[in-house]
Structure formats: C-alpha cells, structure tokens
Amino acid sequence: MGHMSEDRTKKRVASTAWSPIWEQELSQYINTCERCQKANSKHGKYGLLQHIEEPKHPWEAINMDWVTGLVPGGKENFNSFGIIVDRFSQSLRCLPCHKEDTAMDTALLFWNNIKSTFGFLRLSSVIGTQNSHQKFGPTCMRCLVLNLHSPQLTAHRQMV
C-alpha cells in the first residue's frame, strides 16, 4: 500500500515538521515514491459493458481455443487440438492438429471441418497461443468470418 492521499499526508506532516518548501518537496516525494506508483493505478475508468448479440441459429457464432503440448499420437502424430464451441447450442468440436501448423493449415482444418459442414458463421473469439494474427490472421480467414476478438466475450468463453 502507498501513502495516504496527498492532502492527508500534508496534514500529518504539518503537525510534526516545517520547511519553507516542504509542500513542494512532499508533493515531489509522493509523486516519485516507488511504492505509491505500484499501489496507485493511473488508468482511466473502464468502459461500459456491451451487449453480446446472441446467435439465432446453431453454428452461427463460435468460440475457438487450442490445447497444445500434448504427447504426439495417432498415425499423423498430432500434438494439439483445436476446440470449437457453438455459442447457440454449446456443442463442441475437437479437431486434432499440430502445434507447428501454419495459418493456412489452420484455415484448411477449419474450412474442411466446420465451414463446409455448417456454412457461413461469425467467429466471436479466438484464444490460446496459436491465435496470433500472423498465425490465424487476415491472410487466410478474411473470407470465413465477420468479426474477430470481441473483448466482451471473455466471461462467456470462460464459462464454456
């Protein structure tokens, strides 16, 4: 915990010490105090909550994540898998893949297993280590999805 507010600290110091420039020195000390800088955040207020549009049909909106670092298995030695959750029905698809897959490999996996079966959809969120824009970005996915990385979906995908 840092110092009390600057006014309270000034009142406390005024009763025990005096200097011609003590108020300036105290303000400077509080503004440069390492403990105060760590304890007192300087960020602005958070924005208002935004309504998450609920999907009206199955597989219209999905969330994606990857599980990596698995022991290689199967005839193709898969070492990770993609998890795709339908936000309407909460149904789940697990797609075996490789941690080293490129953006094109991931897009083809998605296209062959989800897009071709369920049609056009809106990708609500992509989480995990394989979701960087270089890995799963505009190059391969711009024709498949409407929006990507909705920040208000964090709580929803944690519940799934």
Condensed to tens digits (0 to 9), the pLDDT of residues 26-64 reads 888 888 888 877 776 666 777 888 887 888 888 888 888
Q: Where are the domains of the chain?
A: 6-39, 61-159
| Euclidean distance between CA atoms 2 and 105, whole angstroms | 51
Q: What are the pLDDT digits (tens) for 92-108?
A: 999 999 988 888 888 88
Superfamily of domain 61-159: Ribonuclease H-like superfamily/Ribonuclease H (3.30.420.10)
Q: What are the pLDDT digits (tens) for 33-42?
A: 888 777 766 6
pLDDT band at 153 (very low <50, low <70, confident <90, very high): very low
**Per-residue exposure over 74-87, b if at least 16 CB sit within 10 Å of its own CB, e if not:** eeeebbbbbbbbbb
CB 113 within 8 Å of CB 106: no
Count of CB atoms situated within 10 Å of the CB of 95: 18
| Euclidean distance between CA atoms 98 and 70, whole angstroms | 10
